[in-house]
A and B are shown apart, each in its own frame.
Chain A
Amino acid sequence: MMDEATVATLPAPNQPKLEAPDVDANALVRVEDLTIAFPDERGERYLPIVQQVSFAVRRNEILGLVGESGSGKTQTSLAILGLTRPPGRVLGGRVLIEGRDLYAMKEEERRQIRGRKVAMIFQSPRTSLNPLTSVGDQLVRVYVRHRGLSKRAAREEALAMLRKVGIAGPERVIRAYPHQLSGGMAQRVMIGMMVGCGPELLIADEPTTGLDVTIQAQIFELIQSVQADTGMSVLLITHDLGVVAETCHRVAVMQSGRLVESAPVEELFAHPRHPYTIRLLAAMLRPDRPPVAASDRTAAPDELPIAANGLCYRAVSVDAWEAAKVGPPAMVAVAPDHLVLCHPADTDATEGGA
């Protein structure tokens, strides 16, 4: 019912972004100022779920996207595939896949990208398969379509792929129906299905929800080994920082629809800057540090960081905030490849330095 209209980007924040130069220009996937909104209950207004999120997934890396439930991680990942589910809409921003603007394409071109260039595995693998069709039939269908194989060749491929993802007895699994698989097996099947098409980027949306801890570890190992073998990138969405520490190369942290910090893993864990990240890390019990006092761990939901002198920030009092004449938030580079969402201040009216 909507007329096609040209994309008009919404007003950009009036501070220039200080990105890590060069590295992201050739990134596999670039998300720029992505804004996604849903209509409110009465259908009168849009409420932003994801606000002006910008990050990039580089080649041959595992990028972790971290945040609590409701932070917008899943919506962001769906938007990368152009699969935002109505009534939600992408209101602004761009998604560039190998330099091509996803939302400027026709739907047929987008469908070419899905599966072949970018694939996705979901939280609940058993319901991600059609319950009335056998697992084998579904695998074969995907391989026939995406790799142009004959049915017989596809079946062989499916068996081989199932072995590769660590399923013993693939012949039985091929004949089985999704409800007969365990959660871990189903996720392996999904990985095999998606990876079998040779994508450049695999988005894994909390792929181990509801799985046993030991199975979780196996799945992550599998993802890592596939990544190492094929050189594909992985966007790993999770709320578990422990997984991030062990699996990812870089991390991006989301809070309430905004990307608040991104950095290489070691850097983030060693020098978190954004208050939210700090608290997130503090909430993890770590054997090498004393547990953080409860009062320090509770987050004041409205604290906003300020960058003084363009670089550092700290939550301040209301008066100091007003005195500092803060501008709209932007990503600020506090170290090479380490970006933090801050409010640039005109004057240095903060309490103390970095």
Chain B
Amino acid sequence: MSLGRYLLRRLALAAITLLGVIIAVFIMTRILPGDPVSVKAGQFATPAIRAEIKKELGLDKPLPVQLVDYIGNVFRGNLGQSTRSGQPVLSDLAQRLPATIELALASVILGAGIGIPLGIVAALRHNTKVDVAIQQVTILGAAIPIFWFGLVLIFLFYHVWHIAPPPVGRLNTNVNPPHTITGLYTVDSLLTGDWQALGNALAHLVLPAFALGFVVMSPFIKITRSAMLGVMGSDYVLAARSLGLSDREIVWQDALKNTLVSILTVGGIVLGYLLAGNVLIETIFSWPGIGFYAWNALTGSDYDAIQGFVLAVAIIYVGLNLAIDVAYSLIDPRIRLG
């Protein structure tokens, strides 16, 4: 099928899935054992006030109508209101998103930046001690609880060795954030030449990014190693060898390109790890992103915020997976040209 039609189909599927996601979240919100009316009304409200509140919350309407209302609200960007901040959930999330993006990007850069070369080395030296060691790292990364790892890092690097700054937030309290361009402190301070902020922001970023990056590293190593092994054993590498090309030339000219394309396929998995681990790591490091927000919402029974968070994450997940699919189909000429 042609590329255009393929992309349209993916888009349509994603849209339908998103609709399903919204419905799923709605179902989740309505299976509350608690009673949102009571929560809002308090203990001493009269039945009349309760009825008022019920109407205000839209809970007096039949369920299907509530669903349609909810969908409409979501499309208008109304994800409810946080009981803690008093702000619309959407703006709460939007305010905190840059911090999460910064952490996620740093983790991916670390995880891929270390994982991909390790995977290549493991493939080129496969079945040697180096390969075995790298595989052991992968095994460890897949078994380690990420929140515990973050705590251990804090203990070692902050408490014992005094290298890392206090694990609270993105900057020391006495350092001002740089002028906002992207919302990413590291990028912004770089762009504005605010070196003090840059140094401090990086210092705060290292530990959480490393904790998250270590877990994310495992799928990168695995896919790079197996893709590389597949490529090096392939027919076209054999043909290239038969032409007298050295292994080094083959790796740089052919193998890397083909391997890197395969790495895109784990993008979805990595994304899943990031979104999940994000909540845990942000909580531990008090990193003011959407994950920390979610944890606060959980402990504070801020139901609108919780639902809004889950919905937002799902939308991000679906959207980015779609983007990865599109990128892959654009890179691989077998799909692009049909």
Contacts and interface: CB of A to CB of B under 8 A. Distances in A.
- Chains A and B share a contact (CB less than 8 Å): yes
Contacts of B253: 141
User: Which secondary structure characterizes the binding site on chain A?
Assistant: helix
B244 interface: yes
B243 A142 contact: yes
A111 B246 contact: yes
A235 B337 CA distance: 36
A81 interface: yes
Contacts of A146: 243-244
B242 interface: yes
Interface in A15-58: none
A128 B246 contact: no
A112 B246 CA distance: 10
A270 B189 CA distance: 87
B337 A132 contact: no
B244 A112 contact: yes
A145 interface: yes
Contacts of A230: none
A146 B243 CA distance: 9
B244 A113 contact: yes
Contacts of A113: 244
A131 B235 CA distance: 11
A131 B333 contact: yes
B228 to A, nearest CB: 14
B5 interface: no
Nearest to A134: B333
A298 interface: no
Nearest 7 CB-CB pairings of A with B: A114-B244, A115-B244, A128-B239, A115-B243, A127-B235, A111-B244, A120-B242
Chain B's interface size range is: 20 to 34
Interface of B: 128, 233-236, 238-246, 253-254, 257-258, 261, 331-334, 337
B241 A83 contact: yes
A213 interface: no
Nearest to A193: B243
10 contacts: A81-B242, A83-B241, A111-B245, A111-B246, A114-B244, A122-B239, A130-B254, A130-B257, A131-B236, A179-B333
Q: Which of A111, A119, A190 has the most chain B CB within a 10 Å cutoff?
A: A111
A69 interface: no
A206 to B, nearest CB: 13
A177 interface: yes
Contacts of A83: 238, 241-242
A294 B244 CA distance: 47
Interface string A150-171: 0000000000000000000000
B238 A132 contact: no
A198 to B, nearest CB: 13
Contact of B242 (A119, A133, A145): A119
Most A CB within 10 A of own CB, among B233, B243, B331? B243
Contacts of B235: 122, 124, 127-128
Contact of B337 (A112, A122, A128, A177): A177
A1 interface: yes
